[in-house]
Amino acid sequence: MKKAWWVIVLVLIGLGGVGYWGYVNYLQPGAAQAAAPEQVTELVLVTRGALQDSIEGSGNLAAAQEMSLAFSSSGRVAEVLVKVGDTVAEGQSLALLEPANLELAVEKANLNLAQAQIQLDQALEPATAAEIAKAEASLSAAQASYARVKEGTSEAQLAQLKGNMELAGKKVQQAQGNYDRYGERMAPSLQDATMAYEAAKLAYEIAIAGPANSSLISGWNQVEQAQASLDALRAGPDADTVTAAELKVQQAQLALNQARRNLEAATLVAPFAGVITAVNVAAGEMASGAVITLADLQTLEVEFNLDESDIPLVAVGKTARVSVSAVDETALSGTVTAIAPVATLQSGVPLYPVTVQLQQIPERVRAGMSVDVEVITEVLEDVLYLPQRAVRLDGDAAYVMQQTDSGEFVATPVTLGRSLAGSVEILSGLVEGDVVGVVTEVAAADGAAENGNGMQFPGMGALLGGKR
């Protein structure tokens, strides 16, 4: 029983010691300040200048203008005039196709155009007196022929035809008598006489019957054709004929233009000044697809992505700084030249491609290099500013620890403006050149805070009490 009582006494004594230690370190006035003192660890200068805010991205430099060039017509390559790395001017010849077939096509198109022009000239030329006289003579002949057909055979002609038939009949009788008398050797004579008789008889019968309708129709058609030809000559050039001839000339001219373009296309030329970056064909090979790649390496740009929260802050024409990872150079100036109107989804996140073009290109900077881009989104010109870490807040009030001429630090109230990129605008309370201390919490030695040269302070309560 005595042993238990001593245990209780020892526990009470231990609890009392713990309570005393807590009072000294936490409940006693000034204990918190001693446990967490603050110290000026950095001096900053109040500066007048420009404050800038920016958005960052990264990408690779590329030529602003690059094109894979191909012949517009197929053919065998006659000559390649450039090699990789050559600098060429706009319009300079780069490669040639064999031109023989193309030149022949141009000559043929020239001949077709000349022929069409001759036909048009003939259609436009009025008839000469000789041509009209010839047409009149043709009409008269057609009319006379028709009249003869229409009148039929005369009595004298009928008598002549009848006499020819009767004479042919008598010769048949004579040939028949010789055949009867001398036999087969007279058969040819009998056959000839019989055929002559049949022909004379048919001519007589036709004459007796008069002209056939077909002969009359044919004769009249010849008259009408001759009359139409004469009328056309007297009326001058026909509008429809002239129009048709003009269309043929236009078609021939188009064919010639196409043939000339094909011949010109046999020479591949540079559409802009630049550097040859690839040659994919050699002389003697058939040209197919892109044969030469040309890039304007005097104008470089970088494309990078911004998310939907940053894109409203960027606009075409905004200034940018471009840092080239492989080149230890000052950041290069650039300008935003393009912003994609529609986002592309990457892993479900909408991203907008933005293009920045370099304003100057140092000699060591090349296409393909990795770069970091900083687009300036906002600028405050000619303002006083400090790093935000130098400003302390007490409710709605702001102050800084300003260094006096004696080296001491005094809490000085300030009026703040805009905050950009880790700095804050100072509207009042300081002037350019003032020195301000950046205060941070440090571990205090022996539970006390230093002042003077040590630049330590007993805590926020003491700092607020030292405002001027």
pLDDT digits (tens, 9 = 90+) for 382-432: 999 999 999 999 888 999 999 999 989 999 999 999 888 889 999 999 999
What's phi and psi for 322, nearest 5 deg? Answer: -120, 120
What's phi and psi for 273, nearest 5 deg? Answer: -75, 140
pLDDT band at 260 (very low <50, low <70, confident <90, very high): confident
Tokens linked to 101: 């077939």
Average pLDDT value for residue range 9-17: 37
Q: Going from the N-terminus, what domains does the chain have, and what CATH number goes with each?
A: 42-63+299-465 (2.40.30.170), 66-98+266-295 (2.40.50.100), 121-248 (no CATH)
pLDDT band at 200 (very low <50, low <70, confident <90, very high): confident
pLDDT band at 126 (very low <50, low <70, confident <90, very high): confident
Average pLDDT value for residue range 328-335: 84
Picking from 457, 417, 425, the residue whose alpha carbon sits closest to that of residue 441 is 457
Average pLDDT value for residue range 237-242: 81
pLDDT of residue 10: 34
Average pLDDT value for residue range 82-94: 93
Average pLDDT value for residue range 16-29: 40
Report angle CA 410, 416, 422 to the nearest 5 degrees.
Answer: 95
pLDDT band at 150 (very low <50, low <70, confident <90, very high): low
Is pLDDT at 330 greater than 90 in this prediction?
Answer: no
Is pLDDT at 111 greater than 60 in this prediction?
Answer: yes
pLDDT band at 152 (very low <50, low <70, confident <90, very high): low
Report which of residues 162 and 423 the model is more confident about.
423
Rounded distance between C-alpha atoms, residue 264 and residue 73, angstroms: 10
Mean of pLDDT over the chain: 82
Tokens linked to 155: 């009595």
Is pLDDT at 31 greater than 50 in this prediction?
Answer: no
Model pTM score: 0.51
Is pLDDT at 125 greater than 80 in this prediction?
Answer: no
pLDDT of residue 211: 64
Average pLDDT value for residue range 181-206: 85
Picking from 466, 403, 448, 381, the residue whose alpha carbon sits closest to that of residue 36 is 448
Report which of residues 29 and 139 the model is more confident about.
139
pLDDT of residue 448: 43
Is pLDDT at 320 greater than 90 in this prediction?
Answer: yes
pLDDT of residue 136: 82
pLDDT of residue 18: 35
pLDDT band at 29 (very low <50, low <70, confident <90, very high): very low
Contacts of 339 (CB under 8 A, 6+ apart): 311, 314, 315, 316, 352, 353, 354, 355
Rounded distance between C-alpha atoms, residue 42 and residue 47, angstroms: 16
pLDDT of residue 115: 93
Is pLDDT at 377 greater than 70 in this prediction?
Answer: yes
